[in-house]
Structure 1
Amino acid sequence: MTNPTGDWARETLSAFEEFYAATEQMALEAGAAGDSVKETGSLEQAAPSIDIARERVARAAAALRQCPPPPDEASALHLSSCLDALEDFRTAERFDAWVHAWSRAMEERDEFIRAFAAADGQKPPAW
């Protein structure tokens, strides 16, 4: 890892753009997976699209590891620990637990929104 131009942001921009796009895709796929899990109780029905998104994140994270680290030490450590956590998460095959947790969080959010609307005298959303 080198920083040939001294402009870390410019050198790593494309890798970060792909990483952000990949994580956004994974979040969207997790939303679909969470809905599938809620409806069917089965992660397997949602798994193909999630697996594709998860592997895209893994490739993007690997590309980021090939980039020079951020110039300040705290940022470099933070980025490294985030990438390590993603890799641990991916290889430990705990993705189903994350999708289930996401589903529960969305259910709790929906319950909160309904309760808040009712307490405020509004009609709760009909989703």
Structure 2
Amino acid sequence: MNVAALLASARSMIDDPEPATTSVWPRGAAVLTRQGIETTLSAYWTHHVPAMRHATRSEQWLALPSYLGRSPVVPAAEYSWAALSEACHHRGYEVGLTADELRAHVQTAEDFRLLVGEAVVAKVRGAAPAS
């Protein structure tokens, strides 16, 4: 499943949850959105610095602005990834993310997907990405 499809599925879970998924759709949407962000991050490193695929996610996020630029999308995507990672862990005492919070994270993931897509296209064409 590609990133656009992951994010579309997450949006669908948020905006039109099935009755049978009443208690699990928020976590499902969080997992799909986080997977979209991780897939996008991996795609960036695959095309730009393949050796970074072996670094930890924290190291990848730390290095990303040096390669991709200082777009505000990068720290927003890192924040969403961290918040979604936390939300994916099951704890009996937590409230979880609201539908509005999840929608915001899906939008951030989409913005990140578009930014990385532009950088990959620029790399293929031999141009520097827009900062």
**TM-score category, normalised to shorter length:** 0.3 to 0.5
TM-score (norm 1): 0.40
Answer with 1 or 2: which has the greater Rg: 1
TM-score (norm 2): 0.39
The higher-RCO structure (CA 8 Å, 6+ apart) is: 2
